Amino acid sequence: MRISEPHHPPFAFHELLDRFPRRKILVVGDIMVDEYIWGGVSRISPEAPVPIVEVEHEYIRLGGAANVVANVRALGGQADLVGVVGGDAMAERLIHEVEQIGVKSDGMVVDRSRKTTRKTRVVAGPQHVVRFDRESTDDLGDEIRGRIEELIRDRLASVDALVISDYGKGVIGGRLLQEILPLAHARGVVIVVDPKVNHFDMYRNVSVLTPNHWEAATAWGRPIRSEAEVVEAGRHLVDTLRVQAVLVTRGEKGMSLFEADGRVSHIPAVAKEVYDVTGAGDTVVGAMALALCSKATMVEAAHIANHAASVVVGKRGTATVSVAELQRALAQKEE
């Protein structure tokens, strides 16, 4: 095992970013809406000891797999989206928002037996007051899953990478992965997975898995309390799942990359100010997929993803990073 020092390796990131517009990413997974209600608090309710939020504005953002697609598009890449929405008014708004970023909505299957996954956050000034979720988490029915499989088969022939965005809302399951992963391997596409803990055994032989610190510890089966235990957990996941790499995202401690050849790279966090981490994992997988299919090494792709995430966590709410913002972040790294 070789553990690299936490430094930034030199690489021609401009050349890699210039390739992004010629790359196409297929994103499959749980499509969601992130809804925000912003306001201020000046008094407590007389009915109960809770703050009264005086609503100032409301908006929605693409979430989950749709946010991965939004990040790919913001970085200049091409994208396809396959997933499920409910038969409701929010689905119509979601479809409109996806089309607004230049992505076709014909891969968004409407399942009228489900709700469109919707996370509503009430925020008062800097304080996140409450979040309430409306969702269906049952596995897909055979008919809907069959339609999803057909859509994926049709698209895999024309993409460079497959991103699986698994939020545990029912789209990603064993039967679907048994169908699509062999097809992706046969096509030779990069496979990047944003995992859900209870599905880890399904992700064998993918290119890279991107669990956060808690997910990695849960999959390992023990708490991670030290740098040595991070390494043990990362190596365990690589060896058990036989993946090319595992990228553990660790918040203020940065990221740790574990590769199948035994190399371990600790990448320090670069965010100067963290405002909101919502959706940062979506940015990581989108940037990783674009970088890897643009011929970046795993370490280069991880550095690009790290800097992309450092931009979005400094923004309010679910957000994306543009090519210009990523270029500036990477340029600051080299100074």
Options 3.30.300.280, 3.90.180.10, 3.40.1000.10, 3.40.1190.20; CATH for 2-33+63-117+135-334 is 3.40.1190.20
Q: How far apart are the first and last CA of the chain?
A: 30
Average pLDDT of adjacent 10-residue blocks, the chain of 335 residues:
47 86 97 94 91 92 96 97 96 96 97 95 88 93 96 96 96 94 96 92 94 93 92 95 96 93 92 68 96 96 94 85 90 64
Per-residue CA distances from 207 to 9, 70, 232, 246, 327 (Å): 21, 22, 20, 9, 25
Cα–Cα distance for residue pair 113/155, rounded to 1 Å = 26
Cα–Cα distance for residue pair 284/282, rounded to 1 Å = 5
Q: What is the pLDDT of residue 273?
A: 65
Could you read off the pLDDT of 62-112 as tens digits, one per residue? Answer: 999 999 999 999 999 999 999 999 999 999 999 999 999 999 999 999 999
And the tokens for 333?
Answer: 């790294």
Enzyme catalytic residues: 282
Could you read off the pLDDT of 123-169 as tens digits, one per residue? Answer: 988 788 899 999 999 999 999 999 999 999 999 999 999 999 999 99
Q: What is the pLDDT of residue 5?
A: 43
Q: At what angle do helices 89-100 and 65-74 cross, to 10 degrees?
A: 20
Question: Global pTM?
Answer: 0.92
- Domain map of the chain by residue range? 2-33+63-117+135-334
Per-residue CA distances from 182 to 161, 178, 279, 283 (Å): 14, 7, 28, 25
